[in-house]
Amino acid sequence: MSTKISFSVPGIPPKKDGANSMWRKPSEIDRIKSLRLAAQCAMQGQSLAESSIHMELQIYADPADGDLDNFITGVCDSLMAAHPRTPINDADWNNLSPSIRPSQAIVYDDDRLVQKITVERVSPNQEGKHYIVTLEFD
């Protein structure tokens, strides 16, 4: 039996691009926080996924907002814990519950559990820029 969760996040997804960690980029920190908060709420206390995952992303944003591949990687990485050697500025995260902070996995311990990703970009609608993440666990 599979479990399916879906949640919407305002704005555009976090982007991972370049050699520097997105966990340290001021432009990405609030996006990562928003995603992690929405995912934790949607998980409703469920344990971390330990089986294969199918991820669907619907991104309501303009092409100028970023490349899809950078968004995919940003979302996948944001749902697990940051690498332990990633220097994190604790002041950026102190206003959040310890369960949301970068040292904690939200959905899975490792994004290698994601076996399939379906993604589409569509023009922003009346809700403005936002994205919907749907995760199905086997």
pLDDT in tens, 5-43: 999 999 999 999 877 789 989 889 999 999 999 999 999
More confident: 126 or 118: 118
Q: Is the pTM of this model over 0.95?
A: no
**Per-residue confidence (pLDDT) for residue 11, from 0 to 100:** 97
What are the DSSP calls for 31-51, one per residue? HHHHHHHHHHHHHTTPPPB-S
* CB of 57 closer than 8 Å to CB of 115: no
Q: Calculate the alpha carbon distances from 77 to 28, 122, 126, 132, 134 in Å.
A: 12, 22, 29, 16, 15
**What pLDDT is recorded for position 51?**
84
CATH number of 3-137: 3.30.1330.70
| Segments making up each domain of the chain, as ranges | 3-137
Summary mean pLDDT of the chain? 92
pLDDT for 3 beyond 80: yes
Report residue 27: phi and psi, to 5°. Answer: -70, -20
Residues 45-93 have pLDDT tens digits of 887 778 899 999 999 999 999 999 999 999 999 999 999 998 898 899 9
